Structure 1
Amino acid sequence: MKVKVALRILLERSVKKMGKGMNPIVKAAALEMIERAYNEGIYVQISAGYRSLEEQASLYGQGRVYIYNGKNYSNLAKPNVTNAKPGQSYHNFGLAIDFFIVSDDGKKAIWTVNSKWQRVAAIGKELGFIWGGDWSSFKDYPHLEMTGGLSYKQLQAGKKPYITSPKTSKGDGHIMSIQKTINSRYKTSIAVDGVYGPKTRSALIKGLQVELNKQFNKKLVADGKWGPKTKTAVITIKKGASCNITWILQAALYMKGFNPGTLDGEFGEKTEAALYKYQKASRISADKLAGKVTWNELFA
C-alpha cells in the first residue's frame, strides 16, 4: 500500500522553492492553493517563486546568445524556456509562481497538463491568480501570477502592487470580524465581506490615525489616506505593548497573510513571530519592531 505524501511535506518543499523574495499575499495564496488541491486528492508543489535578475538572465539565455551586465548567459545546448529578459518577469518581483503535480507518494513529478492540472489552475484563479495556460501567444501552463494591475516598467520604477488577501467563496471569517470591529470602533461603514480591499485598508489607516491622535496627540486628519503626515506620525511598538494600535498591527499582519494569533491588542510572542516573518518576507529589517518602515510597508 502506497503512503500518501503529507500536506506538510508539500508545503515545506514549496516554501523553500518560492524563496525569500515573495510578496507575502502571493505566497499565502500559493500555499492555500496547495491545501485546497490536497483536500481534493490532488498533490501540488511549487517549483519556482522569486527569481533574481541573474537567475532570469540565465533562463533567458537558454537557446540563445545573451549578455547581461557584461556576463555571457548563452546556452545554445538547451531549448528556449522564456521570452522574459531580466526585469520583465513577475517572478523577479515575487509576484509569480510555477507549479506541478506530484505522484501520490510525492516522489515523482508529473508535468502532464490533464484534468488535475487544470483543476489546480482553476483553484489558483479562484484565489486571484492569472494562469499562463490562458495566454493566447505563449502558453505557460505551470505559471500563475498576481500583477496588481502593474506593468514591468511600473514595478521597475519602484511602484508597489496592491494585492488583496486570497479570495474565498464566503469570505474570510477573521477579516469579517476585523471589519465589524473597525465599523464599531471607528464609525466606518465598510462592507463586512471578508475581503481585504481598498476600503478596508483605508478604514484601518483611519483607525491608526484616530489612535495616534487619541494616545499621542498627533492631530492628524483621520481621512484614511496614507500621506506624509501619517507616515511621520507613526510610532514604534514592540513586544509587551497593549493598545488599540497593536490591534491594528495584528489586523494588518493578518490581511497580509501572516497570522498573529488572537487579535486582542496584546503584543505577545505570536504577534512578534508574525511580524518577524512578515519583515523577512518583505525584505525589510527584521528587527521585530513595528516602526516607520514596517508601517509604511503595510499600508503604502
Structure 2
Amino acid sequence: MDKLSQTRIQLLHPDLRALATETFSKAELKLTGRAQARITATLRTFEEQDALYKLGRTVVNPDGKSKSKPMGNIVTNAKAGQSIHNYGLAMDFALIIDGEETSWNTAKDFDEDDIADWTEVVAVFKANGWEWGGDWKSFKDPPHFQFDFGYTWQQLQAKWNIGDQKNGYVNLKRAALNVANLYRAKTALNLRTGPSITSRKKKVILKGDYLSEISREGEWSNVVFEGIKGYVNNKYLVK
C-alpha cells in the first residue's frame, strides 16, 4: 500500500480503519500488472462538502464551463452533512498506471488475466461487506465504497448535531441515537437564540435539512443543527 493510501485510511472513522486496511490490501493482491489501486479520498469535512456543493451552483467550476453552462458542472447533490464521507465511513479509489498515470477506466484489463482490474478491486470490497457506488440505481459512482454500519446519512447527521461524537468522529453506538427526535425542515427556517421571532438569528436552515429536537415549548422547538443549538417554529418541521 502506498503512503498516500495509508495516510488517507488514517482519516477514516477509527472503527473502520482496520477493515479498510485489510480490504484494500486484499484488493491490491489481485492486481498483478501495470495498475495499482490508490485511495483518493476518505474523510471529507463539512466545510469541504459545502465547497463541493457550491461548485457549478454559486461558484464557477472550470470543469464543464462553457457559454451554455457558465457555472460549469455540478459536482455533488449532497450538502454538508449529507455524505457518508463527512463521517469517515467512505472512500474513493482510482488506478495508478505504471506508477504515474491516474485512471478511472473500469473496463481495462491491465494485468491481462481476463478480468478488468477495476472489477477485481470492486469484487474484493463487496465480498468484505462494503457498499459500492456502482450498484446505485439513482446514479452511479464507480470509485466509491462505503461501510455505513447500517446508518443513513440522516441518522449520522442527527448524532452529529446532538454532539454524539468522540475525538471528532460520530459515535456509532446505536443506543445513543434518538431517531424519534429527528425532523426535516419543510421550508427555510431561521435558527434563533430564543423562542420568539424577535430573537436574534443564528443560522438559516434550508428546506430539506435535518435537525434534532431537544424539547418543545408550544409552537417553538429547541433544536440542534450542525452542532448549533437554537429555536425554530415547529409548525415547519416534518418527519
Q: TM-score, normalised by structure 1?
A: 0.45
Between the two proteins, what is the percent identity of the paired residues?
Answer: 38
C-alpha spacing 1:107/1:162, structure 2 compared with 1 (3 Å): farther
| Runs of at least 5 residues in structure 2 that lack an aligned partner in the other structure | 64-72, 108-115, 165-170, 177-239
d(CA) in 1 for partners of 2:13 and 2:26?
20
1:147–1:161 CA contact under 8 A, matched in 2: no
1:90–1:96 CA contact under 8 A, matched in 2: yes
Matches within 5 A, 1:163-242: none
**Cross-structure match for 1:137:** 138
- Aligned AA (1:153): Q
Which of 87, 97, 109 aligns to 2:91? It is 97
2:28–2:121 CA contact under 8 A, matched in 1: no
Q: Which structure carries more helix by proportion?
A: 1
d(CA) in 2 for partners of 1:19 and 1:86?
21
Does structure 1 residue 33 correspond to structure 2 residue 44? no
Cα deviation per residue 1:196-215 (whole Å; 9 max; x = unaligned)?
Answer: xxxxxxxxxxxxxxxxxxxx
Does structure 1 residue 151 correspond to structure 2 residue 141? no
C-alpha spacing 1:130/1:93, structure 2 compared with 1 (3 Å): same
C-alpha spacing 1:141/1:154, structure 2 compared with 1 (3 Å): same
1:26–1:96 CA contact under 8 A, matched in 2: no
d(CA) in 2 for partners of 1:25 and 1:37?
20
State the aligned residue count: 146
- The RMSD of aligned alpha carbons is 2.4
d(CA) in 1 for partners of 2:80 and 2:28?
34
1:14–1:47 CA contact under 8 A, matched in 2: yes
Which of 4, 15, 26 aligns to 1:13? It is 4
C-alpha spacing 1:106/1:34, structure 2 compared with 1 (3 Å): farther
d(CA) in 2 for partners of 1:162 and 1:146?
15
**Cross-structure match for 2:60:** 75
d(CA) in 2 for partners of 1:18 and 1:85?
23
Does structure 1 residue 113 correspond to structure 2 residue 103? no
- Aligned AA (1:145): Q
- Aligned AA (1:75): V
C-alpha spacing 1:33/1:102, structure 2 compared with 1 (3 Å): farther
d(CA) in 1 for partners of 2:153 and 2:28?
33
d(CA) in 1 for partners of 2:144 and 2:20?
11
- Aligned AA (1:108): E
Paired residue secondary structure (2:39) = strand
Cα deviation per residue 1:235-267 (whole Å; 9 max; x = unaligned)?
Answer: xxxxxxxxxxxxxxxxxxxxxxxxxxxxxxxxx
1:59–1:82 CA contact under 8 A, matched in 2: yes
Which of 161, 172, 177 aligns to 1:161? It is 172
Q: Which structure carries more strand by proportion?
A: 2
Shift of residue 64, structure 1, vs aligned partner:
1.2
1:18–1:47 CA contact under 8 A, matched in 2: no
